[in-house]
Structure 1
Amino acid sequence: MPSLTDADGLVASFEDATRRAGELALGFFRHGENTSATISHKAGGSPVTEADHLVDRFLKQRFSGLLPEAGWLSEETEDSAARLDKRLLLVVDPIDGTRAFARGEPTWAVAVALVRDGRPLIGIVHAPALDETYVAVKDGGARLNGVPIEVSRLIALDANAKVGAPRLLAAELRQAGLEFNLQPRVPSLAMRIAYVASGALDAGFASENSNDWDVAAADLILEEAGGRLAGLDGGELVYNRKETRHGLLTAAPRQIHSQINLALRRARASA
């Protein structure tokens, strides 16, 4: 059984489990068509499919065997305060981008993070329908399908900068004086952040109310690729708090993160 003293073995086991989970979900996915999975709705109205639940159960079983001492936090499992007493926490989104998955759009992902003392040690974002797997290890770099990745080297946002953001938030940024090229919507927030890590996007934003499971894995991938994910206060995100939700988030290369965050703060202050 891999342990934290066998980092390479643990990462390989995590990646294998995440890929297998992706295969389970892919069995219900139909490119350009509605999923074959049964769909229900949560109390707040967001959809959940039988594939979400299947992946959730599979990963909980696999990871419990790998790290029985770790706590568990997943979008599709009822939360327990017991996790707050754990130094190690597994943070899982079985299918990030369920609406896209259900509609037959390929930009959805299985997102997995191992958190220790509030920050991620391992982050994996696996997009089975795109055949893209992002993996990062603390102080070990970030990779896409085994190839090292890094963020854009842009030194300032301009009209050519590729940005992923909700449209209302993009409008606020433009009112604050920022120029950029707004890209088509990326349904999975984990993938939006991973695209910043790979340089496919120059910056990305998330509206209020993302949760730990939406961002923990991608946070580490971005950090190891030379970027930052932070709230308006500029501080790094802390995971395994009682409250799993976050406020507005900015994902960008380190060299332009503070500039973009300042513009967003000014936009909010003048709203």
Structure 2
Amino acid sequence: MPGRSDIDLLIAAAHGSGKIARRYWRREPRIWDKGGGAGPVTEADLAVNDYLIDRLLKARPDYGWLSEESEDGPARLDAEHCFVVDPIDGTRAFIDGQPGYSHSLAVLRGDRVVAGVVYLPEMGLTYAATEDGPAKLNGEVIAASETDLADADILMSKAALKPEHWKGGTPPEFTRSFRPSLAWRLCLVAEGRFDATMSLRPAWEWDIAAGSLIAARAGCTVSNMHGRAMRFNSRAAQVPGLIIAGPKLHGQITERMALAPGVGSSRP
């Protein structure tokens, strides 16, 4: 089936991306500002993107294409399958010489993720999942944690702690942590190193497509910030925020949040 055969292609392409990125990491790559608040891009981002276009679309020429570093177009909306990639997720960390950047690669069928890989080359971490198999880290099955909000360690920005986002003010119980790559945050929750991740800001599909599948197959409830199922390959290429955690903790978070009127899960 497409998801099963595509996963090997994604893993190989992610590892190839890592080899290219490492040629530039900590070697002062050229940097540009995208403008409009979109942040920086480096020559490494563009080199990896060119490699992925060549590697993936040569292998699957009938697939659509959505990448942070490619001009978007309407053709992907009509494609049965679509690649969704972030050549380097965590570009600022990459520029700073931090190892916590990743390559995020996914395949969609319609509006659902059917295969996903997140690879951190400096750490030797390969997260992968298909729609009908377990989530894995370096070939070993991983699973999300089971905990309560009072004991949770949640990956989130400081902005999400503002009291207006929570019923009765910010819950004092949990611990807040942060990692630079959004794709990696989803995977850290999938492997149980952290208990949840959330964002109240719109998230680009290329940042979260692969990680959302990996988290779901690890047992997480995966939703947008309103507690509703995520759907991909939208015209805007964005998801309205995210909440990802084990089912019990996800319910507790959405119950406490002022922006979450209901709970819905996505389990691709």
Q: Same fold (TM over 0.5)?
A: yes
| CA displacement at 1:187 relative to structure 2 | 0.7
The residue type paired with residue 196 of structure 2 is A
Which residue in the other structure is 1:205 paired with?
198
Distance across 2 between alignment mates of 1:60 and 1:14 = 12
The partner residue of 2:158 within 150, 167, 170 is 167
Question: Does structure 1 residue 216 correspond to structure 2 residue 209?
Answer: yes
Residue 25 of structure 2: SS of its match in structure 1?
A: coil
For the 8 Å contact 1:121–1:220, the answer to whether it is kept is: yes
Please give the per-residue CA displacement for 1:60-94, whole angstroms capped at 9, x wherever unaligned.
11111221111000000000011111111100000
For the 8 Å contact 1:175–1:267, the answer to whether it is kept is: no
The residue type paired with residue 181 of structure 1 is T
Which residue in the other structure is 1:53 paired with?
46
For the 8 Å contact 1:90–1:112, the answer to whether it is kept is: yes
Residue 175 of structure 1: SS of its match in structure 2?
A: coil
Which residue in the other structure is 2:10 paired with?
14
Which residue in the other structure is 2:221 paired with?
228
Residue 66 of structure 2: SS of its match in structure 1?
A: strand
| CA displacement at 1:229 relative to structure 2 | 2.2
The partner residue of 2:84 within 79, 85, 91 is 91
Please give the per-residue CA displacement for 1:183-219, whole angstroms capped at 9, x wherever unaligned.
2x21110011111100011011123121000100000
Which residue in the other structure is 2:175 paired with?
181
Distance across 2 between alignment mates of 1:87 and 1:13 = 18
* TM-score, with structure 1 as normaliser: 0.90
Distance across 2 between alignment mates of 1:27 and 1:264 = 43
| CA displacement at 1:246 relative to structure 2 | 2.2
Instruction: Extract unaligned runs of 5+ from structure 2.
Output: 262-268
Residue 134 of structure 1: SS of its match in structure 2?
A: strand
For the 8 Å contact 1:125–1:190, the answer to whether it is kept is: yes
Which residue in the other structure is 2:117 paired with?
124
The partner residue of 1:196 within 171, 189, 192 is 189
Residue 124 of structure 1: SS of its match in structure 2?
A: strand
The partner residue of 1:40 within 25, 32, 41 is 32
Distance across 2 between alignment mates of 1:252 and 1:113 = 20
For the 8 Å contact 2:227–2:260, the answer to whether it is kept is: no
| CA displacement at 1:48 relative to structure 2 | 0.1
Distance across 2 between alignment mates of 1:198 and 1:44 = 35
The partner residue of 1:262 within 246, 255, 265 is 255
Structure 1, 37-46 or 169-178: larger mean CA deviation: 169-178
For the 8 Å contact 2:231–2:239, the answer to whether it is kept is: no
For the 8 Å contact 1:232–1:264, the answer to whether it is kept is: no
Q: How does 1:66-81 map to 2 (within 5 A)?
A: 66-81=59-74
Root-mean-square deviation (Å): 1.8
Question: Does structure 1 residue 137 correspond to structure 2 residue 130?
Answer: yes
Residue 57 of structure 1: SS of its match in structure 2?
A: helix
Residue 129 of structure 1: SS of its match in structure 2?
A: coil
Identity over aligned residues, as a percent? 35
Number of aligned residue pairs: 257
Distance across 2 between alignment mates of 1:8 and 1:89 = 15
Residue 126 of structure 1: SS of its match in structure 2?
A: strand
Instruction: Extract unaligned runs of 5+ from structure 1.
Output: none
